[in-house]
């Protein structure tokens, strides 16, 4: 996901905290192509070390961003005090990985058409007022980067070093998400000592942070920071 997905959350949190929304490589407004989850994790770690002395209060991530967050926590066990991981896939699928390039390559050109993007947007269950930003962002992502995102997402697995994480971690996943996504959430919770898990009733992938910013922020302020 891109920065605009978390904008409403950031606007609410910045009343109390300083909030930074990184633009991941390969997305619209980024000046670099996406390479790997590990490379993006290293870039964020370097930024935190340079700007904040190597530690921040809280890190959050959704989907691919959640995988990058897991990688960060596996590389720097004390980089944050709290972390919120939403819908991060950690069960690799070689079959999905093999099918991405041929399947997506044949339909990439359709992304430029608003009617096709509206169909995709509707399937993601994102609130309607975000369509223009979604459309602008997807049109700004190259075919190379889109395939790279999907391939990395499909093969990511947790590192053993994640078990040394010192942060208080809360894992969330939608009740309406796939079986493999809910299993991934349980595996993350089992790998990170002292972490907690929450299955969100009636929600699909990404709906929590994107469509329910108030509830997301309330969870951060009222629960996560008091774990």
Q: What is the pLDDT of residues 71-119, one digit of tens each?
A: 999 999 999 999 999 999 999 999 998 888 888 777 888 888 999 999 9
Structural domain includes residue 28: yes
**Res. 227: pLDDT tops 60:** no
Tens digit of pLDDT for each residue in 123-169? Answer: 989 899 989 988 988 888 888 998 999 999 999 999 999 999 999 99
Q: How many helices and strands, by DSSP H and E, does the chain display? A: 10, 4
Read off the CATH number of the domain in which 73 is found: 3.40.50.1820
Structural domain includes residue 97: no
Structural domain includes residue 139: no
Contact yes or no for 167/85 (Cβ under 8 A): no
**Res. 175: pLDDT tops 60:** yes
Residue-range definition of the domain harbouring residue 198: 3-91+157-226
Structural domain includes residue 63: yes
226 pLDDT tier (thresholds 50, 70, 90): low
Count other Cβ atoms within 10 Å, centred on residue 6: 21
Q: What is the pTM of this model?
A: 0.92
By CB atoms closer than 10 A (0-12, 13-18, 19+), residue 50 is exposed
Percentage of the chain modeled with pLDDT above 70: 96
Number of domains in the chain: 1
Once rounded to an integer, what is the mean pLDDT over residues 185-200?
A: 97
**Res. 225: pLDDT tops 80:** no
- 187/99: higher pLDDT: 187
Structural domain includes residue 58: yes
**Res. 4: pLDDT tops 70:** no
Once rounded to an integer, what is the mean pLDDT over residues 13-24?
A: 86
Q: Where are the alpha helices (DSSP H) in the chain?
A: 7-13, 37-52, 64-75, 94-105, 114-124, 131-139, 143-155, 179-191, 207-211, 213-222
Structural domain includes residue 178: yes
Structural domain includes residue 192: yes
pLDDT score at 22:
84
Structural domain includes residue 32: yes
């Amino acid at each position: 996901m891109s920065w605009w997905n978390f904008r409403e959350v950031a606007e609410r949190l910045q009343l109390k905290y300083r909030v930074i929304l990184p633009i991941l490589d390969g997305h619209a407004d980024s000046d670099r192509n996406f390479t790997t989850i590990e490379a993006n994790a290293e870039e964020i770690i370097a930024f935190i070390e340079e700007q904040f002395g190597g530690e921040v209060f809280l890190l959050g991530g959704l989907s691919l961003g959640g995988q990058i967050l897991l990688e960060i926590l596996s590389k720097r066990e004390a980089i944050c005090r709290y972390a919120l991981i939403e819908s991060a896939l950690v069960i690799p699928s070689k079959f999905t990985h093999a099918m991405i390039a041929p399947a997506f390559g044949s339909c990439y050109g359709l992304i430029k058409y608003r009617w096709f993007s509206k169909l995709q947007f509707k399937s993601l269950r994102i609130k309607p007022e975000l369509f223009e930003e979604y459309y602008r962002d997807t049109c700004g992502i190259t075919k190379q980067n889109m395939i790279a995102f999907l391939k990395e997402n499909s093969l990511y697995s947790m590192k053993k070093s994640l078990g040394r994480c010192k942060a208080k971690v809360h894992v969330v996943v939608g009740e309406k998400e796939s079986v493999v996504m809910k299993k991934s959430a349980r595996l993350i919770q089992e790998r990170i000592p002292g972490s907690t898990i929450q299955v969100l009733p009636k929600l699909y992938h990404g709906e929590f942070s994107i469509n329910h910013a108030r509830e997301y922020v309330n969870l951060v302020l009222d629960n996560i920071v008091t774990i």
